[in-house]
């Protein structure tokens, strides 16, 4: 009996034979423009302060932040998400540094805009947690609970001062009900219809935020489970999505990214606006720590996780490796 035509006649391995073949048939491609760089700026710092839980990431000085922004532009990164870390003595119950035109975040926005202009989208974290002495994402009521509606008033003020400082995009991350609508109204009232809102639509109460708490010198006691989403729920994210879009969100985001790829895929399938995902501090630190131990190939692991996030439906990815990966792709 002839062996011609014997099984297997179809061999998918033919399309994996060498790097050029694999590149040609790749279904998902990373590009520098996919990335947004989260960056921290520490008020009063004279030199960058390493974040021990996030090897390779620092709390920037104003000057080193400008340098990081310029490097991101040169690498082709699309945006930079700024987090301001005020001096501890300036924190209070209502987050005054967040609405002070001379607060560190507003100063940093102006610095970066002066450095890079419109060559990089300057995005600002719109939340109170870095600026309050209790570490929560909103103001507290008399019983110590986060007061949703009182917090919205603070968010409206924050949106206006961040826009006045030059933010192209504001990122409300506090998961307060109605935050997108209030912020949109506040921006429109001062004639800043051009400032976009990147809604933190599905932000889960995750264990993977741990290293971030060091990065922003968080004063948090307790947890945020009463306002961030329960990791067990998916349909809840779609409800949040519908509300954010109704309120005027220009872009939506899922956070964290890696543990919630199913949520990301559901969100991406449901909308016709850009979808982002945030590869958060714990995701970053796990890879860096395992690589430092020699347990994984660092560069391959980074690219694999980012590819998975994009494959799941993210058009843009916030990642602390944004500039590094963009340089390598370029």
Domain spans of the chain, in order of start: 29-329
**Is residue 260 part of an annotated ligand binding site?**
no
Helix H, strand E, coil C: the string for the chain is CCCCCCCCCCCHHHHHCCHHHHHHHCCCCCCHHHEEEEEEEECCCCCCEECCCCCCCEEECHHHHHHHHHHHHHHCCCEEEEEEECCHHHCECCCHHHCCCCCHHHHHHHHHHHHHCCCCEEEEEECCCCCECCCCCCCECCCCCECHHHHHHHHHHHHHHHHHHCCCEEEECCCCCCHHHHHHHHHHHCCCCCCEEEEEEEEECCHHHHHHHHHCCCCCCCCCCCCCECCCCCHHHHHHHHHHHHHCCCEEEEECCHHHHHHHHHHHHHCCCCEEEECCHHHHHHHHHHHHCCCCCHHHHHHHHHHHHHHCCCCEEECCCHHHHHHHHC
Active site residue: 67, 203, 225, 310, which one? 203
The pTM (predicted TM-score) of the whole model is 0.94
Class of domain 29-329: alpha beta
pLDDT, residue 281, reads 94
**Is residue 278 part of an annotated ligand binding site?**
no
pLDDT, residue 230, reads 93
Q: Indicate if 91 belongs to the active site.
A: no
pLDDT, residue 35, reads 98
pLDDT, residue 130, reads 84
Active site residue: 66, 91, 255, 310, which one? 255
**Is residue 300 part of an annotated ligand binding site?**
no
pLDDT, residue 216, reads 67
pLDDT, residue 136, reads 77
pLDDT, residue 1, reads 52
Q: Indicate if 255 belongs to the active site.
A: yes
pLDDT, residue 297, reads 98
pLDDT, residue 49, reads 96
pLDDT, residue 228, reads 86
pLDDT, residue 3, reads 60
Per-residue pLDDT of the chain (330 residues; tens, 9 = 90+): 556 666 778 889 999 999 999 999 999 999 999 999 999 999 999 999 999 999 999 999 999 999 999 999 999 999 999 999 999 889 898 899 999 999 999 999 999 999 999 999 999 999 988 888 887 778 888 888 989 999 999 999 999 999 999 999 999 998 899 999 999 999 999 999 999 999 999 999 998 887 877 666 666 666 777 878 899 999 999 999 999 999 999 999 999 999 999 999 999 999 999 999 999 999 999 999 999 999 999 999 999 999 999 999 999 999 999 999 999 998
**Is residue 157 part of an annotated ligand binding site?**
no
**Is residue 204 part of an annotated ligand binding site?**
no
């Amino acid at each position: 009996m002839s062996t011609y035509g014997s099984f297997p006649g179809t061999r998918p391995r033919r399309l994996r034979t060498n790097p050029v073949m694999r590149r040609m048939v790749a279904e998902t491609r990373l590009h520098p423009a996919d990335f947004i760089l989260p960056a921290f700026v520490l008020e009063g710092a004279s030199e960058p302060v390493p974040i021990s839980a996030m090897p390779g990431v620092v709390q920037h000085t104003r000057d080193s932040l400008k340098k990081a922004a310029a490097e991101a532009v040169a690498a082709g990164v699309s945006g930079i998400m700024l987090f301001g870390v005020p001096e501890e003595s300036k924190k209070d119950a209502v987050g005054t540094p967040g609405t002070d035109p001379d607060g560190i975040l507003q100063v940093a926005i102006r610095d970066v805009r002066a450095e890079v202009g419109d060559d990089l989208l300057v995005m600002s974290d719109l939340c109170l947690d870095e600026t309050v002495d209790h570490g929560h994402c909103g103001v507290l009521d008399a019983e110590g609970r986060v007061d949703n509606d009182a917090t919205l008033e603070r968010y409206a003020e924050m949106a206006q001062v961040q826009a006045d400082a030059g933010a192209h995009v504001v990122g409300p991350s506090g998961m307060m009900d109605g935050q997108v609508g209030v912020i949109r109204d506040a921006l429109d009232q001062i004639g800043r219809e051009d400032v976009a809102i990147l809604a933190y639509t599905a932000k889960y109460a995750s264990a993977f935020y741990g290293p971030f708490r060091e990065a922003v010198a968080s004063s948090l006691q307790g947890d945020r489970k009463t306002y961030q989403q329960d990791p067990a729920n998916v349909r809840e994210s779609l409800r949040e999505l519908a509300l954010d879009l109704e309120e005027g969100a220009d872009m939506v985001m899922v956070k964290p990214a890696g543990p919630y790829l199913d949520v990301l895929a559901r969100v991406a399938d449901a909308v016709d606006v850009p979808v982002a995902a945030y590869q958060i501090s714990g995701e970053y630190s796990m890879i860096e720590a395992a690589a430092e131990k020699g347990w994984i190939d660092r560069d391959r692991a980074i690219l694999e996780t980012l590819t998975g996030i994009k494959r799941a439906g993210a058009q843009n990815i916030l990642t602390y490796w944004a500039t590094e990966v963009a340089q390598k792709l370029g």
